[in-house]
């Protein structure tokens, strides 16, 4: 797709249609496929890229889930024999790395990419080719990381990779090299994506959409992108140091050479704590969209939710050392971070209060999406409260590195981030694919996940306080924790069945599609004011925005005297009006090979760094080729390729 024309003459009633350029730039032709796999691989359409992010992240979710199950099966009984100590250490390192960098972060990128332009009334993101590059960098980075399993051993230093245990003498396989370089590559994906979405949100909102009228999900995505822009460079620095330490004999973390290993911990957690909010804020955004729709009420205290999100974004930078309360920082530093950590609970609590108040007085409809949203409130509250218990730094010296912490962050990341993502799946599936997921299967999906997650992570509070230490490849017999470990393992299987039901639901929906109504949930925001799935160009005409819940206010009219709302228009009518006033001439960016070529060069360089510098040179040439092709090629095929604007002769020829 490229330029979308409103054809004149006999085809006027057909609405806009897509014209694809076939002109070559330099020696390479632009990709022209509008259907089939090529249309996906080389797409720069934010919606297709969003779907590819989601599909890849879902695949890695299953990989990380299998790793989690192997961990739980090993710990089902004391002295488990399923995995060796070495394999177990690789397994927990990869489980965490996968879930953080290859599942939750790209899942947020999936929703952000797909929904932000639709929610703000834009036709695409600001830099569509950069968007494509971001996806492919993530994709190749994820594949590259997992190659380590087949090339001498996966990373075994933990996702936190504390120096000096990640030095070559202590981690002699190439696993940690793969880890370092893979995170650099996916870091590029996050950075480019963040810049892209910030520019998009700040510049491309529909007329009338001030920042304080922007849908809350887009707000949370905006906050997260700023966190990424500042957090990723910090881990990039840390990774460069570790990379040079391991591959070229630098001594940044060598104690013999005068290094302080705590340097790594500070760098890692200055990234790592904002990272927690990077993981969870998009899901907060999702439930802040879902709850109002199924409560039939606007989000309670919209400005409070916005500002608390921003406040979390700021305060998130001042709490990193609470990951280091046992590291020996001394009581003064610990006291400072104790206080900052306790007070970050306040803006987080504000969100929970606002979600509850949103539901209060509403007319609650318990769809699967709504159940996951309420599930998030409940599970995240547990995770938040246990978080406060280890903000108490003296208590934390008893809790840190035990299963109590494992329980805490799984309530935050599974009960928070993942539940939010599932709410998003069920809520936006009809929008994205034009088909309904089964609500019946969805409810089974939800309840099995709730039972499974509480059964898996709930008892971890108990065994953690009973002294079961983390990152142990076996349950030590005689510690009084075997019973609950068995319960956890059984529950993890229930959780797995719950997740599997979602996969079955997706497959079933594809085999026996049920076409979704245009507005199945009686939704409130702009993304529902277009076709499902949306047209290539999102909106036939860019809507002018007058209020926060623009779509709701177009469907419902307020009685000035009573304040009651009555329905005055259906979604179909609103869409028809849009189509009737379609813009005459829309330029969409054209597909391109170059982002993918450029991204492909990155893992080639990385493999060369590990094995042979000659391969790196080859990778560098691929990157140079990619950059060259990219700058040579205009992002949008020129008008002269098509004839004058509004001339639809080419389109007519294609139709005939």
313-372 residues in contact with other proteins (CB under 8 A) are 326-328, 330-331, 334-335, 338-339, 342-343, 345-346, 349-350, 352-354, 356-357, 359-366, 371
Beta carbon nearer to other proteins, 228 or 329: 329
CB of 450 to other proteins, least distance (A): 7
Q: By three-state DSSP, how is residue 559 classified? A: coil
Whole-angstrom distance, CA of residue 195 vs CA of residue 603: 22
Residue 609 near residue 594 (C-beta atoms within 8 A): no
Using rule CB under 8 A, residue 374 touches other proteins: yes
Report residue 313 CA to chain centroid gap.
Answer: 16
Residue 550 near residue 526 (C-beta atoms within 8 A): yes
- Per rule CB under 8 A, is residue 87 in the interface with other proteins? no
User: Minimum distance from CB of 307 to other proteins (Å)?
Assistant: 10
Q: Which is nearer to other proteins, 391 or 421 (CB)?
A: 391
* Residue of the chain from 8, 395, 632, 649 that contacts other proteins (CB under 8 A): 395
Restricting to residues 245-284, name those near other proteins by CB under 8 A.
Answer: 255, 258-262
Contact set for other proteins, span 289-308 (CB under 8 A): 295-298, 300-304
**How far apart are CB 409 and other proteins at their closest, in Å?**
15
The closest of 427, 292, 413 to 356, measured between CA atoms, is: 292
Q: Vertex 223, ends 220 and 225: CA angle to 5°?
A: 110
What is the contact mask toward other proteins in residues 26 to 65, using x (rule: CB under 8 A)? ----------------------------------------
CA 114 to chain CA centroid, nearest Å? 11
Return d(Cα 378, Cα 357) in angstroms, integer.
14
Element (H, E) at 596: helix 594-610
Strand-pairing partners, residue 586, are 4
Q: Find the binding residues for other proteins in span 533-592 (CB under 8 A).
A: 556, 558, 563-567
Q: Toward other proteins, which CB reaches closer, 328 or 644?
A: 328
Asked if residue 445 binds other proteins (CB under 8 A), the reply is: no
Exposed (0-12), middle (13-18) or buried (19+): which is 522, by Cβ within 10 Å? middle
Pair of tokens at residue 425: 């799946």
CB of 347 to other proteins, least distance (A): 8
**Least distance (Å) between residue 359 CB and other proteins:** 5
C-alpha distance across the termini of the chain, in Å: 18
Q: What token pair was written down for 334?
A: 């610990």
Indicate which single residue of 74, 381, 492, 592 sits in contact with other proteins (rule: CB under 8 A): 381
Task: Map the footprint of other proteins across residues 475-494, applying CB under 8 A.
Answer: 476, 478-481
Q: Which of 36, 169, 207, 644 binds other proteins (CB under 8 A)?
A: 169
Query: At its nearest, how many Å lie between other proteins and the CB of residue 260?
Result: 6
The minimum distance between CB 243 and other proteins, in angstroms, equals 16
Question: Residue 239 CB, nearest distance to other proteins (Å)?
Answer: 19
Does 450 interact with other proteins (rule: CB under 8 A)?
yes
Instruction: Assess contact for 277 and 227: CB atoms under 8 A.
Output: yes
Among residues 344, 468, 482, the alpha carbon closest in space to that of 406 is found at 468
Binding segment for other proteins (CB under 8 A), chosen from 65-73, 129-137, 387-395, 599-607, is: 387-395
Nearer to other proteins, 296 or 435 (CB): 296
Judged by CB under 8 A, which of 389, 541, 578, 635 binds other proteins? 389
Rounded Cα distance between 88 and 153, Å, is 11
Nearest-angstrom CA–CA distance, 42 and 52: 11
Tokens of 250: 């630098």
Is 468 a binder of other proteins (CB under 8 A)? yes
Separation CA 528–CA 522 (nearest Å): 9
Q: Is there a contact between 622 and 190 (Cβ–Cβ < 8 Å)?
A: no
Within 8 A by CB and 6+ apart from 74, the residues are: 80, 82, 83, 88, 91, 473, 474
Task: Give SS3 for 634.
Answer: coil
Positions 598 through 637 that interact with other proteins (CB under 8 A): none
Question: Please, what is the Cα angle at 468 between 467 and 473, to 5 degrees?
Answer: 155
Sign of CA dihedral 607, 609, 611, 616: positive
- Shortest distance, CB of residue 552 to other proteins, whole angstroms? 8
The token pair at 302 is 């919209």
Rounded to a whole number of angstroms, the minimum distance from the CB of residue 335 to other proteins is 5
Q: Which is nearer to other proteins, 237 or 365 (CB)?
A: 365
CA 339 to chain centre: 30
Query: Between 261 and 434, whose beta carbon lies closer to other proteins?
Result: 261
Closest CB to other proteins among residues 359, 501: 359
Give least dist CB 6 to other proteins, A: 36
91 contributes a contact to other proteins by CB under 8 A: no
C-beta separation of 119 from 217 below 8 A: yes
Report which secondary-structure segment, H or E, holds 585: strand 585-587
Please, which residue, 129 or 390, has the CB nearer to other proteins? 390
Nearer of residues 114 and 473 to other proteins, judged by Cβ: 473
Closer residue to other proteins, CB minimum distance, 120 or 382 = 382
Residue 15 CA to residue 5 CA, distance in Å, equals: 9
Cβ closest to other proteins, residue 199 vs residue 310: 310
By CB under 8 A, tell whether 243 contacts other proteins. no
- Closest approach of Cβ 473 to other proteins, in Å? 5
**Residue 399 sits in the site that holds other proteins (CB under 8 A):** yes
Q: Which residues pair with 565 in a beta bridge?
A: 558
CB of 258 to other proteins, least distance (A): 8
- Within residues 149-168, the interface with other proteins by CB under 8 A covers 156, 158, 162, 164-165, 168
Is residue 224 involved in binding other proteins (CB under 8 A)? no
Q: Which of residues 635-654 bind other proteins (CB under 8 A)?
A: none
CB-based contacts of 243-249 (< 8 A; 24+ apart in sequence)? 243/177, 243/180, 243/181, 243/184, 243/609, 245/163, 245/167, 246/166, 246/167, 246/168, 246/176, 246/177, 246/180, 247/177, 247/609, 247/610
Q: Toward other proteins, which CB reaches closer, 170 or 611?
A: 170
* Cα–Cα distance measured from residue 297 to residue 217, given in angstroms and rounded to the nearest whole number: 16
């Amino acid at each position: 797709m490229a330029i979308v024309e409103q054809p004149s003459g006999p085809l006027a009633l057909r609405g806009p249609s897509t014209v694809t350029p076939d002109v070559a730039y330099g020696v390479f032709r632009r990709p022209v496929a509008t259907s089939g796999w090529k249309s996906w691989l080389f797409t720069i359409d934010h919606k297709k890229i969003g779907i590819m992010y989601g599909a890849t992240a879902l695949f890695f979710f299953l990989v990380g889930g299998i790793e989690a199950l192997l961990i739980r099966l090993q710990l089902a009984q004391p002295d488990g024999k399923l995995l060796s100590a070495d394999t177990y250490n690789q397994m927990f390192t990869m489980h965490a790395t996968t879930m953080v960098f290859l599942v939750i972060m790209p899942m947020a990128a999936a929703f952000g990419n797909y929904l932000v332009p639709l929610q703000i009334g834009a036709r695409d993101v600001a830099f569509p080719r950069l968007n494509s590059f971001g996806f492919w960098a993530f994709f190749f980075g994820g594949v590259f990381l997992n190659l380590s399993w087949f090339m001498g051993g996966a990373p075994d230093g933990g996702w936190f990779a504390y120096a000096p245990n990640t030095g070559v003498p202590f981690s002699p396989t190439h696993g940690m090299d793969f880890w370092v370089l893979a995170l650099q590559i996916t870091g590029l994906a996050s950075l480019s994506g963040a810049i892209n979405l910030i520019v998009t949100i700040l510049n491309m909102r529909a007329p009338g959409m001030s920042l304080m009228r922007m849908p809350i999900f887009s707000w949370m995505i905006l906050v997260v992108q700023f966190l990424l822009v500042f957090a990723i460079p910090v881990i990039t620095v840390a990774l460069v140091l570790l990379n040079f330490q391991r591959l070229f004999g630098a001594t940044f973390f060598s104690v013999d050479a005068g290094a302080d290993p705590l340097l790594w911990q500070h760098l890692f957690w200055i990234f790592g704590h904002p990272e927690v909010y990077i993981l969870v804020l998009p899901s907060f955004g999702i439930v802040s969209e879902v709850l109002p729709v199924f409560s039939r009420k606007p989000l309670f205290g919209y400005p409070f939710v916005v500002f608390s999100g921003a406040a979390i974004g700021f305060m998130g930078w001042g709490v990193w050392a609470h990951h280091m309360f046992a590291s020996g920082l001394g009581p003064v530093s610990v006291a400072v971070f104790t206080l900052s950590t306790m007070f970050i609970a306040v803006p987080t609590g504000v969100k929970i209060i606002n979600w509850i108040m949103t539901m209060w007085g509403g007319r609650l409809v318990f769809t699967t999406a709504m159940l996951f949203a309420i599930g998030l409130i409940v599970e995240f509250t547990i995770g938040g409260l246990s978080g406060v218990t280890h903000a108490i730094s003296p208590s934390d010296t008893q809790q840190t590195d035990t299963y109590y912490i494992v329980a805490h962050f799984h309530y935050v990341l599974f009960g928070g981030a993942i539940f939010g993502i599932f709410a998003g799946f069920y809520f936006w599936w009809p929008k994205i694919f034009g088909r309904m997921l089964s609500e019946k299967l969805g409810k089974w999906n939800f309840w099995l996940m709730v039972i499974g997650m509480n059964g898996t992570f709930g008892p971890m509070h108990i065994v953690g306080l009973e002294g079961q230490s983390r990152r142990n490849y076996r349950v030590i017999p005689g510690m009084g924790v075997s019973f609950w470990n068995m319960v956890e393992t059984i529950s993890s299987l229930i959780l797995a069945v719950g997740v599997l039901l979602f996969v079955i639901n997706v497959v079933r929906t594809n085999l026996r599609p049920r076409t979704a109504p245009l507005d199945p949930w009686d939704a409130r925001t702009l993304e529902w004011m277009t076709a499902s799935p949306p047209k290539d160009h999102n909106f036939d005409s860019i809507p002018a925005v007058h209020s926060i819940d623009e779509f709701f206010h177009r469907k419902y009219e307020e009685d000035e005297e009573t304040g009651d709302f009555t329905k005055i228009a259906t979604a179909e009518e609103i869409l028809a009006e849009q189509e009737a006033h379609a813009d005459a001439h829309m330029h969409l960016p054209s597909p391109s090979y170059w982002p993918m070529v450029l991204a492909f060069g990155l893992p080639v360089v990385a493999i060369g760094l590990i094995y042979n510098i000659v391969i790196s040179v080859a990778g560098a040439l691929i990157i140079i080729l990619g950059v060259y092709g990219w700058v040579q090629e205009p992002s949008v095929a020129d008008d002269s390729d098509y004839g004058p604007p509004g001339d639809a002769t080419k389109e007519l020829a294609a139709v005939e």
